[in-house]
Amino acid sequence: MSSTPPPPRRGAPLHVVQLLGSGSVGTGSHVRSLSAGLAARGLRVTACAAGSAEGRYGFVAAGARFVPVPTHSAVAAARVLRLACADADLVHAHGIRAGLLAALALRGRRVPLVVTWHARSATHGPGAQLRKLTERLVVGAATVVLGATSDLVDRARQRGARDARLAPVALSAPRRPAGGERLAEPHREKLRADLGALDRPLLVASAGFGRDPGLDLLLSASRYWLDRRPQPLLVIAGEGPERAVIRRRIARQRLPVWLLAPGEEATELLPVADLAVLAARWAGRAPLVDDALRRGVPLVATAVGGVPEVVGGAAALVPYGKPAALGSAVNALLDDPARRATLAEAGPARARTWPTEDTTVAQVLSVYDELTSAR
């Protein structure tokens, strides 16, 4: 964050309520960063989220008041949130579910509501129609919708948003040094040896171990480097109920794939990886993409959601749903050391162009000022 925040506001500080729904870790980290930045600039911040969120993100340490929101009942949650917003000058909800809850809590009150749309739902069938209706209700209630990616801004406008704007979300940089980072060789060799990848290319990816179409794409693509010598190893991190089913498929098809244990993160292996692979159906600011580029690890990714905006020309992009394209892109990079070296340099350079946490706070604060200046 900036070491020289703007001087405090005159008069009573603006009271802003940040509402975090059941979003990803990236969304929670963004809300924590935003809360800290706003508090440093003299605003009074109340963070509302499930009780467990305080232990994970530390909103109080960031300078905010924390209000736990019940998760068992939308009615109970709306009641708690309505009390928390009693003297709020503005409410900022993160995610569609949080936006709906905020709309219910603010019913009958003339309090500006900002909703940041962080991700797109992959729901199909009857659930998709309900989701579409929810999205319409939320963007209709919002004074301003901030989309983390351009396609989310377009989607908000299609759903009837009166004011939808692009507001990229900055993710916190990894704690270890990025760009040119090198582990001590013995430690590097041990990590790779533990995975069985001491003398073979190591590819790192993440996916859900459930009904994640991206996982199926990864497994299918791995068949396209079965005949390479040495054979690359694809290591996948993820959580989900179908781990045993996936393991049986890997064994049955003799795929060069290793599943990390629950709780292990793909990003932890980036310092020893040869390539990172993202096979998502949709992604905004994926932590694997951010960390891979910051660390200078060549990336192959599906050209979906906000990924092209994030990576620019610093990654190899392929269409979603085509295992042959993904497998061929991996093979092409493994065959081209010069191209890998180019991407390794381009990644950190691209990362330096991304919005920082400080500029993200400043952009959001300008929206707040616009909506509350006449109050």
Q: What number is the average pLDDT over the span 258-278?
A: 89
- Confidence label for 313 from pLDDT (cuts 50, 70 and 90): very high
The pLDDT of residue 180 is above 70: no
The pLDDT of residue 186 is above 80: no
Confidence at residue 178, expressed as pLDDT on a 0 to 100 scale: 43
Q: What is the mean pLDDT of the chain?
A: 88
Phi, psi of 132, deg, nearest 5:
-65, -40
- How many C-beta atoms lie closer than 10 Å to residue 93's C-beta? 30
Q: What number is the average pLDDT over the span 339-349?
A: 97
Report the alpha-carbon distance of residue 243 to residue 246 in Å, rounded: 5
- Confidence label for 10 from pLDDT (cuts 50, 70 and 90): low
Identity at 36, one-letter amino acid code: A
Token representation of residue 337: 């050391």
- Confidence label for 195 from pLDDT (cuts 50, 70 and 90): confident
Confidence at residue 187, expressed as pLDDT on a 0 to 100 scale: 63
Q: Rounded to whole angstroms, what are the CA distances from 94 to 10, 30, 73, 161, 290?
A: 28, 9, 19, 16, 20
Nearest CA among 93, 90, 111 for reference residue 44: 90
Q: Residue 212: beta bridge partners?
A: none
Q: What number is the average pLDDT over the span 320-339?
A: 96
Under a CB-based contact definition with an 8 Å cutoff, are residues 334 and 201 in contact?
Answer: yes
The pLDDT of residue 127 is above 90: no
The pLDDT of residue 6 is above 50: no
pLDDT in tens, 199-208: 899 999 988 8
Report the alpha-carbon distance of residue 347 to residue 312 in Å, rounded: 9
- Confidence label for 117 from pLDDT (cuts 50, 70 and 90): very high
Q: What is the DSSP letter of 261?
A: P
Place of tokens 């500006």: 112
Q: What is the pTM of this model?
A: 0.83
Q: Residue 274: beta bridge partners?
A: none
Q: What number is the average pLDDT over the span 31-46?
A: 96
- Confidence label for 128 from pLDDT (cuts 50, 70 and 90): confident
Q: Is 168 helix (H, G, I), strand (E, B) or coil?
A: coil
